[in-house]
Structure 1
Amino acid sequence: MYSVKRKQSFDDRSNKETNKLQCKFDQKITSIENLSIEMFYEIFDYLNGYEIYQAFSNLNHHFQQLINSSSLLLKFKINSPSAELYKQLTLINKHKILSFNIRLTYKSSELFTSYLIDSSLDHLESLVLIEFKTTILISLLMKLTCLPRLFSLTIRTFDTWYELSEIYCLIFALPKLIYIKCSPSEVGGAISLPIATNQKSSTIEYIVIDHFCTLPELCAILSHIPQLRYCHFREVYDADPMNIDTTIQIKLFNVICISMKDCEIKFDTFEQLIREIECPLQVLHITNTYDENNYLDANRWKILILNYLPHLKEFSLTYNTDIGNKSVIQLDFERVKSFTSLFWIERKLILGIKISRYHIIYSIHPFKKRWYNINSFIDFSKCTQLTMTYIPDDEHMEFFMNSICTVLSIVKIYHLEFSKRTIISSSLMKILTVLPELDSLKITSLSISQTRYSFIDDQNFRLVSYHNNITKVYLENVKKSEEVYFLLKLCLRMKYLKVNFIYNVDYKLFFRNFLRTITINRHQYLQSLYFQGPKTDFQIINELKEMINREKLLRQFTINRVLNYIHLEWNLI
């Protein structure tokens, strides 16, 4: 997002550093007034201008001079302004206003039009307008052309825009605008902008179209802003696929970033759009909910990137499909599987899959280091993660397992995460039986089945524990220590364990029992424990270190604090 900061000259910055050093070495600061002017400017940069006046205007002569200085630029955030307040802001401080963030109710919106907006607001760079009536908004936009430094404009209303074409024409006429975001509650009619053909064009470089529009409407909007570099669209859909050749008549020679939150156009059309606009694209983010399987054709994406997106540095694709939909059955799994080929691995683009109650979501995204990436070497061919945000009961487990098998027909899963839900140990067992390649397991919360004692001795449990290859386990919310011990018995090849206790725990008792358990059970691989509890401080670490040495629980080990965790690491004997 385009942001506005108070500008400083080279001399200002030099003086700022000098004053900081003087404050640090030449004097002791015993009063807030001893702070440098530049330091106050930095503090004021985080405050609402009205709050600055309330706090400092009548304090003393020093602060009165400070806030009256022409060098101090003010940011105002106003909710339902009264007439007197707005007069004060515009008349007294009009040459010092850097930004306005104004939220109006329908009752107060009429007040805003009765005050002068002219070139005397010569430092106003950012304007945020919230809840303006459409008629008031149009009237205001007509006045904004006189502002010599208006670089950023954000409009968010709960009104339905029927005059969207007129609003965009007024926005494009603003002579200095660089950033624009339009967020109406609804769009009441079509955008009837013609394709721009004249030489006069907008200066806009960043645009956020936070409303739905058709592809022809989108192309018409973009034709008016040839300087565009970054664009984000909330929802774009096909209106007249048969007329696509006449629709795409624009060139975007400067665009380096495109993001579509909900792309509902056919992939054939999307391909043609990328080919025609001829932009030096570096960043592309696409989310498709159109149920168009071609978006998951890795080879078509590969050809498109190699031939038409040679400058692409960052790419992400999200494809959402309904569970049980025929399109899931019709997926060409081989085409999807190609997302794990060398082309994508070399670019560190990773295939991820999420299963919710009603959807399977496929995503291709840049590699991001996760909790289980504890080594410097990362095998990008084994980074595929399955995230489950829904865990069914026993009655619906079979249908859920079919969804997992659908995923496994596409790709091997090496990392599994149960997110936001508690999983019962018996359900965990069933899921692990079909995921033999797992290297890491993350569980938000675990509930041990009521039949846990007979279940542990069951042959199925032994088979799963002996055959799974899980080496890293993270239990995010531990309620009872037995949950940790269950996972120790289940994951015999575990090397790394991370646990967060959400209740008070006897640290010494837990560590003593834990270390004795792994010794008695000959847990030969485990050598690293990250432990977090309600209280983690250096005193506890010293006490644990003394206890381990005194009771000879480990021979060679290190224990220290890493962020909010106690990290215990020991050598295998």
Structure 2
Amino acid sequence: MEGRKRQENNTIQNFRSNKKRKLQNEITTININKSRFQDLSNEIFYVIFEYLDIHHVHKGFFNFNKRFKNLLNNSNLLTKINISTISKSDFDYYYRNIIIRNREHINVLRLSNPFTTDIIFSPTNIILKFISLETLILDNIHVKYLNKMFDYLLDLPKFHSLTISFINYIESLDIFIQIFRLSKLEYCKIIYKIKNNQSLLPIYLTKYDSSCIQYFIINGDFPFNSLHNLLSCLPQLHHLSINSLVNCHNTEREELSPIELKYLKYAFLKLNFIYFYKFEK
């Protein structure tokens, strides 16, 4: 028994010794090649930065030496900001040192915590300076931020892609009216939920008949009697996905004119208590 235990201890010690030796060799290799790494041109580093999140770039290079600090401060990179799980104190640092300094060059912004949305959209003059923003992804946003947020997005010259999911229940489908206000929007994915006993009123989008949206993904209950109105507003539609098309009771039936969707290539509709013959009519 003692011999077996001694053998196991020797095996563990040998494993740790080999692991330590391998780590020392890697550190030695890094030290030998350090000067070669720094000899790379600025253009090569800009290419490297494009494959990294700006948070990792800042942590890995900003305080490395004066050259890299100047390189990042003077960079015109179109940066991608992806903020997932993060504490408020960490985000405050991230916001001051990365987002604010790069706001004019950010083209993708993803926020996954409710408090980050509050910080980004509260000062009215901040979000309006994101002049290169093309794609906005908001996970777990509160409904209360909607009106303020869309008012700001209207004034961003390059903005064309929105993905949004709500942390709380929505009480109406007015969010679609806000979406169609964004006249340059080409991609939209919306994720929402309603209470089990809640009935959805139809939405009317007749004033928005020339939307540029090409890809529309709706993950949430959407009333069948609003589908025709929705499609009438999407002449450029290529891709449509609705994961819960629901029947609305006590609504008047109306005669609907045909809709020509000449660019539509893909459609996915999950029917909930809806007979397929209704589409034929």
- Compute the TM-score of the two structures, normalised by the length of structure 1: 0.38
CA distance in 2, matches of 1:156, 1:168: 13
Contact persistence 2:58–2:98 (CA under 8 A): no
Tell me if 1:185 matches 2:193.
Answer: yes
Contact persistence 1:74–1:98 (CA under 8 A): yes
Tell me if 1:54 matches 2:96.
Answer: no
Contact persistence 2:161–2:187 (CA under 8 A): yes
C-alpha distance 164-87 of structure 1, shift in aligned 2 (>3 A): farther
Q: 1:148 aligns with which of 143, 146, 157?
A: 157
Deviation at 1:144, TM superposition (A): 0.9
Deviation at 1:70, TM superposition (A): 3.9
Contact persistence 1:117–1:143 (CA under 8 A): no
What amino acid does structure 2 have at the position aligned with 1:68?
N
Contact persistence 1:162–1:189 (CA under 8 A): no
What amino acid does structure 2 have at the position aligned with 1:239?
C
Deviation at 1:234, TM superposition (A): 0.7
User: Hey, what does 1:121 align to over in structure 2?
Assistant: 130
Per-residue displacement from partner, 1:128-181 (whole Å, max 9, x unpaired)?
11111100233212211111111211111221111422x211111113211111
CA distance in 1, matches of 2:194, 2:50: 34
CA distance in 2, matches of 1:74, 1:213: 35
Deviation at 1:262, TM superposition (A): 4.8
Q: 1:75 aligns with which of 80, 92, 95?
A: 80
3-state SS in 2 of match to 1:146: coil
Higher relative contact order by CA 8 Å / sep ≥ 6: 1 or 2? Answer: 2
Per-residue displacement from partner, 1:182-224 (whole Å, max 9, x unpaired)?
101336552532252566x322111101111122222222222
C-alpha distance 212-70 of structure 1, shift in aligned 2 (>3 A): same
Q: How does 1:59-458 map to 2 (within 5 A)?
A: 59-78=64-83, 79=85, 81=88, 82-83=91-92, 85-105=94-114, 109-115=117-123, 116-165=125-174, 167-186=175-194, 189-196=199-206, 201-239=210-248, 246-247=255-256, 250-262=259-271, 264-272=273-281
C-alpha distance 202-37 of structure 1, shift in aligned 2 (>3 A): farther
C-alpha distance 189-130 of structure 1, shift in aligned 2 (>3 A): farther
What amino acid does structure 2 have at the position aligned with 1:170?
Q
CA distance in 2, matches of 1:240, 1:179: 31
What amino acid does structure 1 have at the position aligned with 2:111?
I
What amino acid does structure 2 have at the position aligned with 1:169?
I
Based on CA coordinates, which of the two structures has the bigger radius of gyration? 1
Give the structure with the higher percent strand: 1
Q: Where does structure 1 lack aligned partners over 5 or more consecutive residues?
A: 1-27, 273-573
Q: Once superposed, what is the RMSD of the aligned Cα atoms?
A: 3.0
C-alpha distance 136-189 of structure 1, shift in aligned 2 (>3 A): farther
3-state SS in 2 of match to 1:137: helix
Contact persistence 2:247–2:272 (CA under 8 A): no
CA distance in 1, matches of 2:251, 2:181: 32
Contact persistence 1:97–1:123 (CA under 8 A): yes
Deviation at 1:52, TM superposition (A): 1.1
Per-residue displacement from partner, 1:493-534 (whole Å, max 9, x unpaired)?
xxxxxxxxxxxxxxxxxxxxxxxxxxxxxxxxxxxxxxxxxx
Deviation at 1:226, TM superposition (A): 2.0
Contact persistence 2:79–2:107 (CA under 8 A): yes
What amino acid does structure 1 have at the position aligned with 2:263?
N
Contact persistence 2:80–2:109 (CA under 8 A): yes
CA distance in 1, matches of 2:113, 2:98: 16
Q: Where does structure 2 lack aligned partners over 5 or more consecutive residues?
A: 1-32
3-state SS in 2 of match to 1:100: strand
CA distance in 1, matches of 2:206, 2:258: 10
What amino acid does structure 2 have at the position aligned with 1:171?
I
Give the structure with the higher percent helix: 2
C-alpha distance 89-189 of structure 1, shift in aligned 2 (>3 A): farther
CA distance in 1, matches of 2:272, 2:44: 47
Identical aligned residues as a percent: 26
